[in-house]
Each structure stands twice: as structure tokens, then as C-alpha cells.
């Protein structure tokens, strides 16, 4: 991206004294300096957004839908630029950037089509049939704060910002410093599609400073990030009694059933565990395979993993790109070094690849990791998969569920048995014969986690309705005389009792 284009995009941000230097993870070189906002600038952004929201909420929902459908077409027309930008800021391979772009574009089409229907006024069964009527409206909450991480800047932006806008809210979004350009470009395209300038504001800066200012001022928060930060956001939002949805970390298991095709299972691990170099919340980090299959499976998986091409390229010739930066490299190598020091065996990878670039790490298969190793229970968030054996399916299910997280899970094997196992797994999604894409790609299916993986769901109609309040309108017929004095109740009581019995039969 040229310096002029970068300057045009960051012109959206107010000027600041402080700036953060953003590096290209693939080569460690500086891309640009990103303004770092102070608390008062975020407060001003929310205030401005509130004014814009008053007008935006008055636009008919089909006008908002049309803007989203136009955005869908504009995103498609700009796909190559989006892919370049995603690769520049995240270091991910073209293939993984492509997967992300496809998800973002689907979100625009989905909310461009279902919002009117989902938000439409709904009649509800009246308390006193014929004499009262009730209906429910969905009212936008006001200004929605969206806080996004660096790893999927385009998809995660679209999955939260678009339904918030479609519901008639304004959005103030905190983009992560590392991938703010992608978010700013997405917003720029949305404005081109007809979203008013001030209905979607992007802010950047220190996580706690800007994050706190958002949570303290908006009407609802959609947070995506680590469980640790999510807890802080939830506590702060609870103090103000505002709603929040939390899409947090995972430690996602896969069970390979006895009788599964082991070659196929290994291929599913390649995409399930190494997409975006494993820096994906729904990435598979633990694989449980029958002890009788374990040696064979490890042999196949190690061979396939070693065949993966790691590198940097703006075409589709590379399987896996770079980690997101210095902190990610420290994190991933720290987990592996700790496990190896405690006796774990690396069967593929297990090392950084500085000959390619400063933050590249080889896709890694590890086994026999002792329970005391840090990576057993914590999210590695890198291209690392830990393979363990099991003796019975009950043991496999118990091991899969033995985690504080509950975001995603996978079962590989004959579909009938896999569906049965899926019933017992504690996770927001279970993918059969896939790592995560079967559920993740469905815009209509709610996505989110149980346990410490979060609360609330994005996608589906619920992903839109979380950004609304319901308002019930009750209308009494002028012919209805409801009691107002104690004596009236006494007179009405026999009739009421009959009515309650009738209602028991006719209402659901
Ligand atoms: P993070 O929690 O460090 O940061 C996420 C965002 O929160 C960033 O924009 C950051 O600047 C901001 N932030 C930091 N401190 C804050 C505070 N006190 N208040 C408010 N905001 C604050 O997470 P990360 O390292 O950027 O992202 C990786 C994590 O995100 C992983 O755990 C991953 O599993 C998770 N994730 C979850 C999903 C999902 O849908 N469940 C999707 C992507 C990533």
C-alpha cells in the first residue's frame, strides 16, 4: 500500500502526540506510525457517534440493508487490495487471507438480506384475547463499542460492526494497532457504500486507555480477544449495567474416532490447526486418537506437516505465513520450549524459522506432553498441535472436555458415531470431519463459546438482535374495562377463573 493511501486512511483519526510504530511481521520492517488516541478523544468520538445515530436509526431498515449489499459488491471488487493489506499487517498466507475475506464478504450479504425481516415488528399473543393486542419492536441500543483483536481484523470487524449498523446503531470501534489499516480500509469502503461517515468511527491506541474509555461511554460492547481482557471488559460493563458479548479464547480438541481414515484425519488437522499459523480462536490445539492408531497417525501427520510450505508470498504458492509479531514468537516458542524441557517429544517442526523472516515458526506436532507443561491447559495461539492417545471413547470425551475453555471442537470419523460423540462435547460448535470451517462458514449459525470462551453469540439473527432492546406495545380495546378497585376484582373473579381455564386450552 502506498504512503499516500495510508495517509488517506489514517486521516480519519484525530491528530495525536503519541504514535505507535507498526511493523510488517513478514520482514520486521516499519509500515507506518499509527496515532494513539487519548481518553478524551474517544469520549468525543462516542458523543459524535450518538448524534449520527439519531439520524441513522431513522433511516428505513431497507435503506440500511441496501448499503450493506452495496458494501458486499464493493468488498468483492476490492478483494485483491484487501488480501494485500491483510497479508501486510498479519503476515498470514494468501490462502488464509482469502478465507478471511470470504467470511467478511458473506457477513455483508447476510445482514444485507435478513435485517429487515429480523427487526420487523412482531405480533405476540395477547393476554386478554380480542380485548388486548401486543406487539414487539426492536430498538437500536444506541452507540455500540466494538473491540477487535489483530488476528482476523477484517472478518471480526464485519461480523460485529455490520449487524450493529444494520440494527440502526452507530459504532465506535477500537482496532488493534497491528491491523488498524485493514479496519480503516473496510470503514472507508463502507462509507463508499452509503454508511454515514460518523455512524462508524475507528479509534486506535493503548488497549486499556482506549478500551476503558469505550466501555465507560457506549451503550453496548462487542468484545473479541483474550479471556483475560474479556473478563476486565465484562466487569466494567457490569458496573454500568450495559450489555456485552464476549468472544474469547479456546483450547479446541479434536477426537479421531477408531475406524476413521487416518490420512483424511491428518489433512483435517493441517487446516484445522495451522490456518493463519494457528492464530485463530477456533483452531484445533489438541488431538485425541485411539492408542492403537497413535503411532501410525503421528507418522502420517508428521510427514504431511513437514510437506507444508512456510514462507512469504503474495500469491497462493505458500501454505503458512508468519506469526503476528515478536510477542507471538515469544509466546509460541516459550510454550514449546517448556513442554520439551519437561520431556515432550516434537515429531514435526518445533522451531523458529529466522531464515524466512523474523517471526516465522514451523508448524509443529508434539506428543507425550506432561500434564505439568504450560501448553496443556493454556491457549498456545500458534501453529502447534498436541496429539494424545485414548483407550476408550469415554476417556476421549472426558479429556476433550477437561478444559476451562469451550469454544470449538471437532470429531473425525463415521458421521453417525461422530454425531453421537458431538452430543457430549462442551463447546459452542462441534465440527464433524472438519476442523472449524463447516460451522464457522455458516452465517446463519450462532458462533461463540461456553465456559471461559465467552458469552453471547455472533452470527445468525441473534447476532443482530443482541444490538437491540425490545419494546413491547400493549393496546387495550376501548370496550375493555379492567378492574381498578378491590370490589371490581371480586366481581370479575369468577369470570377470570373461567377465562384462565379456557386460556390453558387455547394458548401455547
Ligand atoms: P487481547 O485481549 O490482548 O486484545 C484484544 C483487543 O482488546 C485489542 O484491540 C486490545 O488492544 C484490546 N484491549 C487490551 N486491553 C484492553 C482493556 N483493558 N479493555 C478493553 N480492551 C482492551 O487479545 P489478542 O491477543 O489481540 O487476540 C488474541 C485472543 O483473541 C486469543 O485469545 C483468541 O483466541 C481471541 N480471539 C477470539 C475470537 C472469538 O471469536 N472467540 C476471535 C479472534 C480472537
CATH number reported for the structural domain that contains residue 141 in this entry: 3.40.605.10
* Domain shared by 240 and 273, yes or no: no
Q: Extract the runs of DSSP E, i.e. beta strands, from 169-251.
A: 170-174, 200-203, 220-224, 243-247
Contact yes or no for 339/375 (Cβ under 8 A): yes
Among 318, 264, 381, 282, which Cα is nearest to 95's? 318
Q: Choose among 236, 310, 235, 243: nearest CA to 270.
A: 310
Residues 397 and 355 in one domain: yes
Count how many domains the chain has.
2
pLDDT of residue 75: 98
54-63 long-range contacts, Cβ below 8 Å, gap at least 24? 55/196, 56/165, 56/168, 56/169, 56/170, 56/196, 56/199, 57/140, 57/168, 57/169, 59/168, 61/115, 61/116, 61/119, 61/166, 61/168, 62/116, 63/194
Is 299 in the active site?
no
Q: What is the pLDDT of residue 55?
A: 97
Helices 79-90 + 94-119 axis angle, to 10: 120
Domain for residue 232, yes or no? yes
For residue 482, is it within any domain? no
CA distance 25 to 445: 33
Average pLDDT over the chain, rounded to whole? 97
Structural domain boundaries enclosing 295: 252-442
On whether residue 92 sits in a domain, the answer given is: yes
Query: What are the residues whose beta carbons fall under 8 Å from the beta carbon of 508, sequence distance 6 or more?
Result: 125
Residues of the chain with pLDDT under 50: none
Please give, one letter per residue, the 3-state secondary structure of 242-257.
CEEEEECCCCEEEEEC
Helices in 291-447 by DSSP H: which ranges? 291-307, 326-341, 393-401, 415-422, 437-440
For residue 409, being part of any structural domain is answered with: yes
CA distance 213 to 39: 6
The reply to whether 98 and 180 lie within a common domain is yes
Any domain includes 329: yes
Kindly state whether residues 274 and 370 are assigned to the same domain. Answer: yes
Does the pTM of the predicted model rise above 0.85? yes
Pairing of strands 408-412, 405-406: unpaired
Q: Is residue 473 part of a domain?
A: no
For residue 48, report the distance from its CA to the centre of ligand 1, in Å.
25
Q: Whose CA is nearest to atom 18 of ligand 1?
A: 208
* pLDDT value of position 199: 98
Task: Single out the residue of 88, 31, 93 nearest to residue 313, CA to CA.
Answer: 93
Query: How far, in Å, is the centroid of ligand 1 from the Cα of 224?
Result: 5
Q: Which three cell numbers stand for residue 132?
A: 388486548
Whether 503 maps to a domain, the answer reads no
Closest-lying ligand 1 atom to the alpha carbon of residue 225: 30
- 272 and 236 in a common domain: no
Residue 170 CA to residue 291 CA, distance in Å, equals 54
Tell me, what's the pLDDT at 503?
82
Whose alpha carbon is nearest atom 13 of ligand 1? 207
pLDDT tens-digit map of 57-102: 999 999 999 999 999 999 999 999 999 999 999 999 999 999 999 9
Choose which residue among 206, 213, 229, 447 to substitute to test ligand 1 binding: the one with the highest number of ligand atoms within 8 A of its C-beta.
229
For every residue of 432-473, DSSP letters joined together read: ESSSSHHHHT-TTS-B--EETTEES-BSHHHHHHTTEEEEEE
Distance between CA 152 and CA 92 in Å, rounded? 10
Question: Does ligand 1 have an atom closer than 6 angstroms to the CB of 226?
Answer: yes
Q: Are residues 189 and 322 in the same domain?
A: no
CA atoms of 308 and 101, how far apart (whole Å): 22
DSSP E strand stretches across 337-440: 345-348, 364-367, 384-390, 405-406, 408-412, 429-432
Which residues of 102-242 form beta strands (DSSP E)?
122-124, 132-140, 143-147, 170-174, 200-203, 220-224
3-state secondary structure of 124: strand
Q: How many CB atoms lie within 10 A of CB 238?
A: 11
Give the cell for residue 146. 466494538
Predicted pLDDT of residue 4: 78
The position carrying cell 476442523 is 435
Q: How many CA atoms lie within 13 A of 59 on its CB side?
A: 21
Report residue 360 as a C-alpha cell.
516465522
Looking up residue 389, the CATH number of its domain turns out to be 3.40.309.10
The finding on whether 213 has its CB within 6 A of some atom of ligand 1 is: no
Residue 500 lies in a domain: no
User: Considering only CA atoms, which residue is closest to atom 11 of ligand 1?
Assistant: 207
Catalytic residue among 65, 100, 247, 434: 247
Q: What pLDDT score was predicted for residue 508?
A: 60
Task: Map grid coordinates 478523544 to a residue.
Answer: 41
Residue 198 shares a structural domain with residue 273: no
Q: How far apart are CA 37 and CA 13, in angstroms?
A: 8
**pLDDT tens column, 307-317:** 999 999 999 99
| 176 Cα: distance to centroid of ligand 1 (angstroms) | 8
Long-range contacts of 354-358 (CB under 8 A, 24+ apart): 356/310, 356/311, 356/312, 356/322, 357/25, 357/26, 357/27, 357/28, 357/91, 357/312, 357/322, 358/25, 358/27, 358/28, 358/326, 358/329
> Hey, is 288 helix, strand or coil?
strand
Instruction: Specify whether the CB–CB gap between 100 and 154 falls below 8 A.
Output: yes
Active site residue 244: no
Are residues 279 and 376 part of one domain? yes
Give 490's Cβ-side CA count (13 Å radius).
3
Catalytic residue, chosen from 281, 379, 388, 434, is 281
Between CA 317 and CA 346, with CA 268 as vertex, the angle to 5 degrees is 85
Instruction: Out of 407, 442, 477, pick the residue that ends a domain.
Output: 442
3-state SS, residue 401: helix
| CA dist 130 → 202, 478, 495 (Å) | 50, 11, 15
Q: Are residues 232 and 109 in the same domain?
A: yes
Tell whether 186 and 219 lie within a shared domain. Answer: yes
Same-domain pairing of 156 and 299: no
Are 31 and 71 contained in the same domain?
yes
**Strand 122-124 with 252-256, pairing:** unpaired
Residue 208 Cβ < 6 Å to ligand 1 = yes
Amino acid at each position: 500500500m502506498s504512503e499516500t493511501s495510508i495517509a488517506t486512511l489514517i486521516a480519519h483519526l484525530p491528530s495525536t502526540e503519541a504514535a505507535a510504530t507498526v511493523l510488517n511481521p513478514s520482514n520486521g520492517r516499519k509500515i507506518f506510525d499509527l496515532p494513539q488516541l487519548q481518553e478524551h478523544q474517544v469520549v468525543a468520538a462516542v458523543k459524535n457517534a450518538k448524534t449520527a445515530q439519531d439520524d441513522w436509526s431513522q433511516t428505513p431498515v431497507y435503506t440500511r440493508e441496501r448499503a450493506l449489499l452495496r458494501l458486499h459488491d464493493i468488498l468483492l471488487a476490492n478483494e485483491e487490495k484487501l488480501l494485500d493489506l491483510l497479508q501486510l499487517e498479519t503476515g498470514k498466507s494468501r490462502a488464509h487471507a482469502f478465507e478471511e475475506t470470504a467470511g467478511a464478504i458473506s457477513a455483508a450479504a447476510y445482514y444485507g438480506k435478513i435485517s429487515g425481516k429480523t427487526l420487523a415488528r412482531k405480533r405476540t399473543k395477547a393476554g386478554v384475547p380480542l380485548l388486548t393486542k401486543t406487539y414487539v419492536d426492536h430498538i437500536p441500543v444506541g452507540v455500540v463499542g466494538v473491540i477487535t483483536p489483530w488476528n482476523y481484523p477484517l472478518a471480526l470487524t464485519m461480523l460485529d460492526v455490520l449487524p450493529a449498523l444494520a440494527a440502526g446503531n452507530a459504532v465506535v470501534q477500537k482496532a488493534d494497532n497491528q491491523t488498524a489499516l485493514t479496519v480503516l480500509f473496510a470503514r472507508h469502503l463502507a462509507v463508499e457504500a452509503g454508511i454515514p461517515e460518523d455512524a462508524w468511527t475507528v479509534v486506535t491506541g493503548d488497549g486499556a486507555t482506549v478500551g476503558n474509555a469505550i466501555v465507560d461511554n457506549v451503550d453496548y460492547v462487542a468484545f473479541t480477544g483474550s479471556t483475560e481482557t474479556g473478563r476486565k471488559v465484562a466487569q466494567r460493563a457490569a458496573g454500568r449495567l450495559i450489555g456485552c458479548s464476549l468472544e474469547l479464547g479456546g483450547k479446541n480438541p479434536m477426537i479421531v474416532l477408531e475406524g476413521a481414515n487416518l490420512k483424511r484425519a491428518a489433512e483435517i488437522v493441517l487446516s484445522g490447526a495451522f490456518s493463519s499459523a494457528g492464530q485463530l480462536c477456533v483452531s484445533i490445539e489438541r488431538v485425541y486418537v485411539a492408542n492403537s492408531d497413535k503411532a501410525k497417525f503421528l507418522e502420517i501427520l508428521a510427514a504431511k506437516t513437514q510437506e507444508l510450505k512456510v514462507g512469504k508470498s503474495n500469491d497462493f504458492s505458500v501454505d503458512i505465513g508468519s506469526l503476528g509479531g515478536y510477542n507471538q514468537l515469544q509466546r509460541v516458542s516459550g510454550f514449546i520450549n517448556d513442554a520439551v524441557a519437561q520431556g515432550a517429544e516434537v515429531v514435526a517442526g518445533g522451531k523458529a524459522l529466522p531464515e524466512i523472516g523474523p517471526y516465522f515458526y514451523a508448524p509443529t506436532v508434539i506428543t507425550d506432553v506432561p500434564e505439568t507443561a504450560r501448553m496443556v491447559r493454556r491457549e498456545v495461539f500458534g501453529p502447534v498441535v498436541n496429539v494424545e492417545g485414548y483407550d476408550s471413547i469415554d476417556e476421549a470425551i472426558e479429556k476433550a472436555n477437561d478444559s476451562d475453555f469451550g469454544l470449538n471442537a471437532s470429531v473425525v470419523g463415521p458421521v453417525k458415531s461422530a454425531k453421537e460423540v458431538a452430543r457430549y462435547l462442551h463447546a459452542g460448535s462441534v465440527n464433524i470431519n472438519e476442523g472449524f470451517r463447516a460451522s464457522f462458514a455458516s452465517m446463519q449459525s450462532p458462533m461463540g463459546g461456553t465456559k471461559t470462551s465467552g458469552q453471547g453469540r455472533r452470527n445468525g439473527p441473534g447476532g443482530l438482535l443482541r444490538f437491540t432492546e425490545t419494546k413491547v406495545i400493549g393496546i387495550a380495546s376501548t370496550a375493555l374495562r379492567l378492574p381498578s378497585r378491590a370490589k371490581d376484582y371480586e366481581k370479575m373473579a369468577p369470570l377470570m377463573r373461567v377465562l384462565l381455564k379456557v386460556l390453558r386450552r387455547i394458548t401455547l
